[in-house]
Amino acid sequence: MEKIVNGKKIILVRDDLTEMDVDAIVNAANKHLQLGGGVAGAIRMKGGPSIQEECDRIGPIGVGEAALTGGGKLKARYVIHAVGPVYGEGNEDEKLRNATLNSLETAGGKGLRSIAFPAVSTGIFGFPKERCAQIMLNTVCKFLKERDTGVSEVTFCLWSADDLKVFEDALQSLSDS
């Protein structure tokens, strides 16, 4: 599914984030930038040790912040490590909004054109998927409407058919409003 916003694309796909051929993929990171399990673990396995080595030089970072490393052996040239909130820690919506926005600003600041996000914080951090989809998609739409950066393609790469459906429903509700 695609939506055009201000001449730029939002794309929803079911795929493996580590196989995306984009300028940058977003890692759903922890604040210590340790590439453990989930999305981060897959990035570590496929991207090689150079990504963790760069993370070790950068981290820790705060919740809602983002940091850039090279992509190692991934198809993506860069990884943007975005620290989303743990559900229940307080002010989660704003923290997720900031993690999304800071990832987009990092990409734009580096002159990147394409970026792919997972559903940040919905794994072990327990953030509700429907709420995540609304917040992240609203943040991306607003960014593409209001910011003049080189970012022209934002993909949400979802692992399961159920996750893809949640994001499709959220994007459709944005299209209807």
Cis peptide before 60 (omega within 30 of 0): yes
**Long-range CB pairs of 34-43, under 8 A, 24+ apart, other chains included:** 34/59, 37/124, 38/123, 38/124, 39/118, 39/123, 42/16, 42/17, 42/18, 43/17, 43/18, 43/74, 43/79
Structure tokens at 78: 């860069």
Whole-number pLDDT of residue 148: 85
What residue ranges define each of the domains in the chain, with the CATH number in brackets?
2-176 (3.40.220.10)
Q: Which residues contact 172 (CB under 8 A, 6 or more apart)?
A: 1
Neighbours of 134 (CB within 10 A): 20
0.85 surpassed by pTM: yes
Whole-number pLDDT of residue 174: 83
Of 59, 148, 63, the C-alpha closest to 100 is 63
Mean pLDDT per 10-residue segment, the chain (177 residues): 94 97 96 90 95 96 98 98 95 97 97 97 93 97 92 96 96 75
Whole-number pLDDT of residue 176: 56
Whole-number pLDDT of residue 47: 97
What percent helix, strand, coil does the chain show, rounded to 5? Answer: 40, 20, 35
Q: Chain-centre distance of CA 163, in angstroms? A: 14
Radius of gyration of the CA atoms of the chain, in A? 15
Whole-number pLDDT of residue 147: 87
